[in-house]
Amino acid sequence: MSDEINVTLSNLLQEDRQFPPTPAFAAQANGKASLFDQAEHDRLGFWAEQARNLDWETDFTEVLDWSNAPFAKWFVGGKLNIAYNCVDRHVHAGHGDQVAIRFEGEPGDRRDITYRELMAEVSQAANALTELGVVAGDRVAIYLPMIPEATIAMLACARIGAIHSVVFAGFSAEALRSRIEDANAKLVITADGQNRRGSAMDLKSAVDEAVDASPSVENVLVVKRTGTDVTWHDRDVWWHDLVGRQSIDHTPEAFDAETPLFILYTSGTTGKPKGILHTSGGYLTQASYTHKMVFDLKPETDVYWCTADVGWVTGHSYIVYGPLANRVTQVIYEGTPDTPNKDRWWDIIERHGVTLLYTAPTAIRTFMKWGDHLPQSHDLSSLRLLGSVGEPINPEAWMWYREVIGGNRCPIVDTWWQTETGAMMIAPLPGVAACKPGSAMRALPGIGMAVVDQEGTPLGNGSGGFLVLTQPWPSMLRGIWGDNQRYVDTYWSRWPQYYFAGDGAKLDNDGALWLLGRVDDVMNVSGHRISTTEVESALVSHPEVAEAAVVGASDPTTGQGIVAFVILRGSTEDAGELIKELRNHVAREIGPIAKPRQVMIVQELPKTRSGKILRRLLQDVAEHRDVGDSTTLADPAVMKLISEGLASSSSDD
Ligand code: WT7
């Protein structure tokens, strides 16, 4: 591991450019430098103050109970309703006519939803779930495209204390099935289809396949989105029938601050998906606090757009919970950025007057490739702040984002966090920090972070090592669903006093933080975590594959691309055809996002004497480098064999 970090470190160029906020931006910013002093002086008091921006039915009596570490309890004794905090309280405060969601479908259909209308529809959906027999503590799987019903369904679950498990609608039937099974979900909420790249794509049949093999599921609630023909079962209910006939009144019950809010599955170093568990009061406190401070949200004037999908944690924390708790007006867009043309995003920003944009480096690099003329043909002058998340943003992409999208006027906030952290942890305060292109800068007020060496000793400026979090934080995961030991082992065993995030990082001479990517067997493709083991198991589930090893190789657009090395059971007539078949097989098993960029058929894999695959060497091959130290290989000739055999079997389309 340390080898990998050192290699990356020496590759990282010195970056000295700095971009402080303009005095005008700094003067009006929500987050001032005094937040750091305040949090430093009284960390728990600081968090209590942030929590009190929410509406509590019963006040909490203790800020943090860490006596059962690493299982935290925040805001002990407090009771609140999450949906009430995201919707009703804004209506009661006189903002019922403010638009909460400006929805734009891929085909161009539009729908504005005010806070009053959102309250009515969330209430109806909550009543509908109750009619279906869903009660507090039940698990509900949500497999929906980016339509308002996704947000409404999540809030309806929260409103009645049910736990949602949103599964990205790009995942396969098998991925959905395994998540339904792990959580024992009682209900699935889905749609007939979704609009992608100009056509209606079927969603329902994947749900049918998953639910046929899921005895826990009693009903499937189906939103009509595309009008696609669907096969109908007794368990299926149309959203418009059931939700449409419910009362728009629903009295929200207050739940304990530690009531589970959602499970979200993410990739770890083994193939088994990990259900990350988040609870209520602490989660909403940090999601809303960070959203307000890092994006400098002004609910009266801003139009916010986070381009993520609700299937990922970014969609949970920065489309649904944080923004709505702050009374945002936000754009939600259903489709792809190239439909009908490659300037769709810039068109949306211009037409809606978007002021705050939150997106991912992989998208930014794609737009760089498509050309400056596309954003330049639109008026983007409404933008006043830009955000980035999901993977390290390289300085070139950061500068392009600043110049071409932000017109050299907008602060850029590079935000580091994880599914597990629930909300942002490391990010600049836009009115305070002199941002460096490519750096997430420093831990937010109230967050404890360090870069440590192998022994867990904190390192000073100018050094690189492992990123750890040194203090519990309100939106931290509360465990892994059904597997608390795995929670302890994964995050708290390497150095028991720290949460280990799995990332390498460097502190520069000014103390600014530079993220260096994962140090474990997890890849980051377009800002999404995919474990090498997951893809390997998908590959060996194919009858022609005997063994597989997968690595993430650096990719100019997606951050990392998946490269697979496979050993076949027999010989093959047509390697090109089989490679195509294997790539599609992985897409079918996991989802198109996990489709390998490249599959190489090899005779052997590099292994140590104890049988551990040396992925580092395969990565050298995948990244076209000279192969590094191979002295620990059981058979040192293997790497030569692999390199020689490659020319004939690689495929890259
Ligand atoms: C991993 C977490 C956070 C929501 C989206 C991803 C990488 C995330 C950054 C950033 C460098 C980043 C890390 C992290 N990552 N943000 N700003 N700079 N790397 O959530 O799927 O849980 O992935 O994404 O490697 O550990 P996730």
Whole-angstrom distance, CA of residue 306 vs CA of residue 319: 6
Tokens of 195: 């609009």
**Which numbered atom of ligand 1 lies nearest the CA of 317?**
4
Whole-angstrom distance, CA of residue 300 vs CA of residue 562: 44
Helices 43-51 and 34-41, interaxial angle, to 10°?
Answer: 110
Q: What is the pLDDT of residues 61-115, one digit of tens each?
A: 999 999 999 999 999 999 999 999 999 999 999 999 999 999 999 999 999 999 9
Is the CB–ligand 1 distance for residue 479 below 6 Å?
Answer: no
Is the CB–ligand 1 distance for residue 414 below 6 Å?
Answer: yes
Chain centroid, CA 236 distance in Å: 30
What per-residue string of b and e applies to 529-568 under the rule 16 or more CB within 10 Å gives b?
Answer: bbbbbbbbbbbeebeebebbbbbbbebeebbbbbbbbbeb
Domains of the chain as residue ranges with CATH: 3-223+232-243+253-505 (3.40.50.12780), 526-651 (3.30.300.30)
Residue 346 has pLDDT above 50, yes or no: yes
pLDDT for 433 equals 98
SS3 504: strand
Q: 363: which DSSP letter?
A: H
Torsion of CA 308, 312, 316, 320, to 10 degrees: 30
Q: 45: which DSSP letter?
A: H
- Measured at the alpha carbon of residue 192, what is the angle toward residues 189 and 196, in degrees to the nearest 5? 110
Residue 6 has pLDDT above 80, yes or no: no
Torsion of CA 143, 149, 153, 154, to 10 degrees: 80
Is the CB–ligand 1 distance for residue 309 below 6 Å?
Answer: no
Whole-angstrom distance, CA of residue 420 vs CA of residue 274: 10
Q: Which of 290, 449, 529, 531 maximizes ligand 1 atoms within 8 Å of its Cβ, making it the mutation to test the pocket?
A: 529
Is the CB–ligand 1 distance for residue 418 below 6 Å?
Answer: yes
pLDDT for 2 equals 43
Whole-angstrom distance, CA of residue 126 vs CA of residue 129: 5
Give the distance (Å) from ligand 1 centre to CA of residue 392: 8
Report the nearest-CA residue for atom 17 of ligand 1: 416
Q: Model confidence at 526, in pLDDT bands (50, 70, 90)?
A: very high
Give the distance (Å) from ligand 1 centre to CA of residue 553: 17
List residues bridging with 479 in a β-sheet: 277
Q: 166, 311 in Cβ contact below 8 A? A: yes
Q: 486, 281 in Cβ contact below 8 A? A: no
Q: 623, 617 in Cβ contact below 8 A? A: no
Give the distance (Å) from ligand 1 centre to CA of residue 424: 10
Give the distance (Å) from ligand 1 centre to CA of residue 570: 40
Is the CB–ligand 1 distance for residue 589 below 6 Å?
Answer: no
Q: Which of 171, 277, 417, 491 maximizes ligand 1 atoms within 8 Å of its Cβ, making it the mutation to test the pocket?
A: 417
Report the nearest-CA residue for atom 13 of ligand 1: 391
**Which numbered atom of ligand 1 lies nearest the CA of 522?**
25
**Which numbered atom of ligand 1 lies nearest the CA of 308?**
5
124 phi/psi in degrees, rounded to 5: -60, -45
Q: What is the pLDDT of residues 529-551, one digit of tens each?
A: 998 988 998 999 999 999 999 99
Is the CB–ligand 1 distance for residue 524 below 6 Å?
Answer: yes
Whole-angstrom distance, CA of residue 296 vs CA of residue 430: 7
Residue 11 has pLDDT above 60, yes or no: no
Whole-angstrom distance, CA of residue 523 vs CA of residue 184: 28
Alpha-helical regions (H) of 457-595: 484-492, 532-540, 575-589
Report the nearest-CA residue for atom 20 of ligand 1: 418
Report the nearest-CA residue for atom 23 of ligand 1: 418
Q: 120, 134 in Cβ contact below 8 A? A: no
SS3 438: coil
List residues bridging with 564 in a β-sheet: 550, 599
412 phi/psi in degrees, rounded to 5: -110, 125
Give the distance (Å) from ligand 1 centre to CA of residue 423: 11
**Which numbered atom of ligand 1 lies nearest the CA of 314?**
4
Tokens of 558: 């997606």
Task: Give me the mean pLDDT over the 305-314 stretch.
Answer: 98
List residues bridging with 454 in a β-sheet: none
Report the nearest-CA residue for atom 5 of ligand 1: 390
pLDDT for 8 equals 46
Task: Give me the mean pLDDT over the 46-62 stretch.
Answer: 98
Q: What is the pLDDT of residues 112-142, one digit of tens each?
A: 999 999 999 999 999 999 999 999 999 999 9
List residues bridging with 356 in a β-sheet: 304, 385
Is the CB–ligand 1 distance for residue 392 below 6 Å?
Answer: yes
Report the nearest-CA residue for atom 8 of ligand 1: 390
Give the distance (Å) from ligand 1 centre to CA of residue 517: 8
Give the distance (Å) from ligand 1 centre to CA of residue 3: 22
What per-residue string of b and e applies to 373-405 under the rule 16 or more CB within 10 Å gives b?
Answer: ebbeeeebebbbbbbbbbbbbbbebbbbbbebb
Whole-angstrom distance, CA of residue 152 vs CA of residue 136: 17
Residue 336 has pLDDT above 60, yes or no: yes
Residue 570 has pLDDT above 70, yes or no: yes
pLDDT for 38 equals 98
> Mean pLDDT over all residues of the chain?
94
Q: 326, 299 in Cβ contact below 8 A? A: yes
pTM over 0.75, yes/no? yes
Q: 336, 106 in Cβ contact below 8 A? A: yes
Q: 358, 305 in Cβ contact below 8 A? A: yes
Whole-angstrom distance, CA of residue 110 vs CA of residue 131: 30
Measure Cα distances from 365 to 9, 166, 393, 395, 398 in Å. Answer: 22, 27, 9, 11, 9
Pairing mode of beta strands 62-65, 255-256? unpaired
Give the distance (Å) from ligand 1 centre to CA of residue 297: 22
pLDDT for 270 equals 78
pLDDT for 635 equals 82
Task: Give me the mean pLDDT over the 426-449 stretch.
Answer: 98
**Which numbered atom of ligand 1 lies nearest the CA of 424?**
3
Give the distance (Å) from ligand 1 centre to CA of residue 519: 13
pLDDT for 646 equals 62
Task: Give me the mean pLDDT over the 22-36 stretch.
Answer: 98
Tell me which residue of 520, 524, 519, 534 sits closest to 559, measured CA to CA: 524
Is the CB–ligand 1 distance for residue 329 below 6 Å?
Answer: no
Whole-angstrom distance, CA of residue 428 vs CA of residue 422: 17
**Which numbered atom of ligand 1 lies nearest the CA of 415?**
17
pLDDT for 645 equals 65
Percent of the chain with pLDDT over 70: 96
Specify the amino acid at residue 161.
G
Measure Cα distances from 311 to 142, 151, 172, 262, 317 in Å. Answer: 9, 11, 13, 12, 11
pLDDT for 271 equals 75
Whole-angstrom distance, CA of residue 499 vs CA of residue 478: 12
Give the distance (Å) from ligand 1 centre to CA of residue 610: 32
403 phi/psi in degrees, rounded to 5: -80, -55
Is the CB–ligand 1 distance for residue 440 below 6 Å?
Answer: yes
Whole-angstrom distance, CA of residue 469 vs CA of residue 477: 13
Is the CB–ligand 1 distance for residue 314 below 6 Å?
Answer: yes
Give the distance (Å) from ligand 1 centre to CA of residue 563: 20
Measure Cα distances from 19 to 23, 26, 27, 396, 513 in Å. Answer: 12, 12, 16, 14, 15
Q: Model confidence at 269, in pLDDT bands (50, 70, 90)?
A: confident
Is the CB–ligand 1 distance for residue 266 below 6 Å?
Answer: yes
List residues bridging with 550 in a β-sheet: 564
Report the nearest-CA residue for atom 27 of ligand 1: 418
Residue 632 has pLDDT above 90, yes or no: no
**Which numbered atom of ligand 1 lies nearest the CA of 313?**
4
List residues bridging with 468 in a β-sheet: 450, 500
Give the distance (Å) from ligand 1 centre to CA of residue 524: 8
**Which numbered atom of ligand 1 lies nearest the CA of 414?**
17
Give the distance (Å) from ligand 1 centre to CA of residue 391: 5
Give the distance (Å) from ligand 1 centre to CA of residue 389: 6
- Measured at the alpha carbon of residue 180, what is the angle toward residues 175 and 181, in degrees to the nearest 5? 100
Is the CB–ligand 1 distance for residue 311 below 6 Å?
Answer: no
Task: Give me the mean pLDDT over the 369-396 stretch.
Answer: 96
**Which numbered atom of ligand 1 lies nearest the CA of 417?**
3
Whole-angstrom distance, CA of residue 234 vs CA of residue 143: 19
